[in-house]
């Protein structure tokens, strides 16, 4: 059961990372075309998928930690705490991306909002990649 949960956890981390990268690509592709409904729908859909994946990452990570609580060897390594820090940073960057993305809907401040959203998407993607790398070694 532990291995299946770990697989699901890693798949969701990869999905969150891919959705974040896709969100960044859609943001870059929609420069100057903010009013097109299809691109706005794609941005919102990718953001919602990423939010779902981030939530599942936290739930499956907590389940993995709980499943190791009564193991004879130490439940977690130092790698786990580093991974936890990067997942927390990924979650914060994703939340900041979502908040700055809301300002893209209209108004005169679209250019600063786009830059902020792109910056947070880049940070979120980098944090998710580092979290994936550490997730591979954190649960042995």
pTM > 0.75: yes
Asked if the model's pLDDT at residue 86 lies above 90, the reply is yes
Do residues 61 and 87 touch, judged by C-beta distance below 8 A? Answer: yes
Q: Which residues lie below 8 Å from residue 52, measured CB to CB, with a gap of 6+?
A: none
Percent of the chain with pLDDT over 90: 31
Structurally, at CATH architecture level, domain 2-138 sits in Up-down Bundle (1.20)
pLDDT in tens, 24-43: 888 888 777 766 777 778 88
CA distance 67 to 12: 18
Closest residue by Cα to residue 19 from 123, 121, 114: 121
pLDDT reported for residue 34: 66
Q: DSSP string covering 50-76, please? A: HHHHHHHHHHHHHHHHHHTTT-SS-S-
Average pLDDT in the 3-18 region?
A: 90
Domain boundaries, the chain: 2-138
pLDDT reported for residue 129: 92
């Amino acid at each position: 059961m532990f291995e299946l949960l770990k697989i699901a956890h890693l798949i969701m981390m990869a999905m969150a990372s891919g959705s974040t990268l896709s969100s960044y690509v859609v943001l870059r592709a929609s420069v100057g075309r903010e009013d097109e409904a299809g691109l706005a729908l794609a941005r919102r859909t990718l953001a919602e998928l990423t939010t779902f994946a981030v939530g599942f990452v936290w739930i499956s990570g907590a389940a993995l930690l709980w499943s190791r609580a009564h193991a004879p060897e130490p439940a977690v390594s130092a790698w786990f705490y580093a991974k936890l820090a990067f997942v927390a940073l990924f979650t914060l960057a994703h939340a900041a991306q979502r908040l700055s993305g809301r300002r893209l809907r209209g108004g005169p401040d679209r250019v600063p909002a786009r830059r902020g959203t792109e910056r947070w998407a880049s940070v979120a993607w980098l944090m998710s990649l580092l979290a994936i790398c550490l997730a591979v070694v954190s649960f042995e």
